[in-house]
Structure 1
Amino acid sequence: MIRHLVLFKLNEGVDRDEARVAAGVKAFQELDGVVPELEFWECAWNITDRPIAHDFAINSAVADLDALKRYIEHPAHQAAAGQWREFATWVIADYEF
Structure 2
Amino acid sequence: MIRHYVLFKLKPGVSWDDPKVQQAEQMAAKVGAEVPELREWTVGRNISTRPVAYDFVAVGLLDDMEAVERYMTNTFHQEAISAWREISDWVIADVEE
Which TM-score bucket, shorter chain as reference? over 0.9
Q: Which runs of 5+ in 2 are unaligned?
A: none
Distance in 2, Cα, partners of 1:33 & 1:84 = 18
Aligned to 1:69: 69
Q: Which runs of 5+ in 1 are unaligned?
A: none
Does 53-62 or 26-35 show the bigger shift?
Answer: 26-35
Q: Does 1:46 align with 2:35?
A: no
1:50-96, CA deviations, whole angstroms, 9 ceiling, x for partnerless residues? 00000000111100011000001000000001111001000000010
Superposed counterparts of 1:1-97, under 5 Å:
1-97=1-97
Q: Which has the larger helix fraction?
A: 2
**Matched residues, number:** 97
Distance in 1, Cα, partners of 2:71 & 2:82 = 14
TM norm structure 2: 0.98
The two structures, once aligned, show a CA RMSD in angstroms of 0.6
Distance in 2, Cα, partners of 1:33 & 1:14 = 27
Q: Percent identity?
A: 42
Distance in 2, Cα, partners of 1:12 & 1:31 = 25
**SS of the residue 1:33 aligns to:** helix
